[in-house]
Amino acid sequence: MVTVRRLAMAVFCVAALLAGPSRAAPELAVDVASGAVYFEREAGVPWHPASLTKLMTVYVTFRAMEAGEVSPETVVTVSPAATRASPSRMGFPAGTRMTLDAALKMLVVKSANDLGVAVAETVGGSVDGFVARMNAESAALGLHGSVWRNPHGLHHPEQVTTARDMAVLGRALLLRYPDKAGLFSLHGFTVGSVEVENHNGLIGRVEGADGMKTGYICASGFNIVATVTRGGRRMLAVVMGGRKAVDRDATAARLIESALLAPPLPLDVGSIPHAGGSPTDMTPFVCGGRKPPAGGDTEAVLEAKARWTRTFRSMPRTLGEPVRLGLLPPERVAPAPAPRPDLDALRTAWLQRQEAEAPEAEAATPDATVAPKPSVRRF
């Protein structure tokens, strides 16, 4: 028999499902150099970051390079724990070795979760040690709405961020490490016979698109931090909660195109407050087939967005040559050298054996007065 309590809980769950997300999905457009905001909607609302987490992983790694703890040539070895990470992943067997530079390229372009673990273990000594660094660096950057529980972005209910925090982090990566910005603009890579294209749909399609990172899990929907440099200006957009990758990419492109033509708002990205609360779970709407509410948009606005998405989808994508990456040869463990014989001990043992055998030898010696029997040769 179904209890009243269980029935009430079922009714509550159905009602929550039908109600849709409590807030519109976050969107934000800022100028990278100045931090000026050109568009903002729910930018301080908590959201699951998905693989946008890897931007924080890259930032911590850059900080470790800056401190001289690691270098681009530091060897990263795939551990058994790394091989157990869920897709997306490179799928290398345990013991596979590569440079940290190659690992970061695969991490960003492929969004490889197994390499997220491998990089964390290399830089932080362990995943837990690396995550502690993530949270420390996050606090130092003023990412007040972000909590990190892993280095790759696979779902953890406590791992949250905001569009505002992702914009602050993106600016920190580009402004503090301009010489490393090329990591985020790679069109793809090859390793062996495997070729991987960048998941960022703006790259190769939108003029001046040059970064940064995409992310997706059911709970977050499709997320992106995207940058476009044009006319001496670099604009950054953050979009979270897209139902499809193309919708997410098209929205980011639309925000940036509008920002390049519009005046800024009287708002700096750092001053956007943290809204607090719990992140919206997009699972029913992204992986469950339900349509989320309009988020306050009018029919005319929704139609305009749909037209833009169709236009974006029809734009040809031309990708440049992928960068070629290689793996390092397997680590050769030299066999343990055979123990060298102790010559003194051997000599001592031999002498002792000679002394022990000497009396027997004397006793067995024939008397000199006894003539030996002649030998007989038989033919």
Q: What is the 3-state secondary structure of 259-309?
A: HHHCCCCCCEHHHCCCCCCCCCCCHHHHCCCCCCCCCCCCHHHHHHHHHHH
In a domain, 166, yes or no: yes
| Annotated catalytic residue, options 54, 105, 110, 213 | 54
In a domain, 252, yes or no: yes
Residue 139 confidence (pLDDT):
98
Over the range 352-375, which residues count as b (16 or more CB within 10 Å of their CB) and which as e?
eeeeeeeeeeeeeeeeeeeeeeee
Residues across the chain: 379
Residue 331 confidence (pLDDT):
80
Boundaries of domain holding 111: 21-325
Do residues 75 and 95 lie in contact, with contact meaning Cβ atoms separated by under 8 Å?
no
Share of the chain above pLDDT 90, in %: 75
In a domain, 8, yes or no: no
Number of compact structural domains in the chain: 1
pLDDT, tens digit, 9 for 90 and up, residues 43-99: 999 999 999 999 999 999 999 999 999 999 999 999 999 999 999 999 999 999 999
Residue 281 confidence (pLDDT):
95
Burial classification of residue 318, based on how many CB atoms lie within 10 Å of its CB (0-12 exposed, 13-18 middle, 19 or more buried): exposed
**Overall pTM surpassing 0.85 (yes/no):** no
In a domain, 356, yes or no: no
Q: Is the model's pLDDT at 17 over the cut of 70?
A: no
**Would you call 258 a catalytic residue per the annotation?**
no
- The three-class DSSP label of residue 17 is helix
Residue 359 confidence (pLDDT):
59
Residue 373 confidence (pLDDT):
52
In a domain, 330, yes or no: no
In angstroms, the Cα distances linking 193 to 102, 114, 187, 207, 330 are 16, 19, 17, 30, 18
In a domain, 177, yes or no: yes
What mean pLDDT is reported for the chain? 88
pLDDT, tens digit, 9 for 90 and up, residues 320-375: 999 999 999 988 765 666 666 676 776 677 677 777 776 554 554 445 444 555 55
Over the range 105-124, which residues count as b (16 or more CB within 10 Å of their CB) and which as e?
bbbbbbbbbbbbbbbbbbbb
**DSSP letter string, 109-168:** HT--HHHHHHHHHHHHSSHHHHHHHHHHHHHHHT-TT-B-S-SS----TT-BB-HHHHHH
**Would you call 51 a catalytic residue per the annotation?**
yes
What CATH number is associated with residue 239?
3.40.710.10
pLDDT, tens digit, 9 for 90 and up, residues 166-197: 999 999 999 999 999 999 999 999 999 999 99
In a domain, 352, yes or no: no
Residue 6 binned pLDDT confidence (cut-offs 50, 70, 90): very low
| Annotated catalytic residue, options 51, 88, 138, 146 | 51
Q: Is the model's pLDDT at 218 over the cut of 60?
A: yes
Residue 358 confidence (pLDDT):
67
Residue 269 confidence (pLDDT):
98
| Annotated catalytic residue, options 88, 111, 138, 146 | 111
In a domain, 198, yes or no: yes
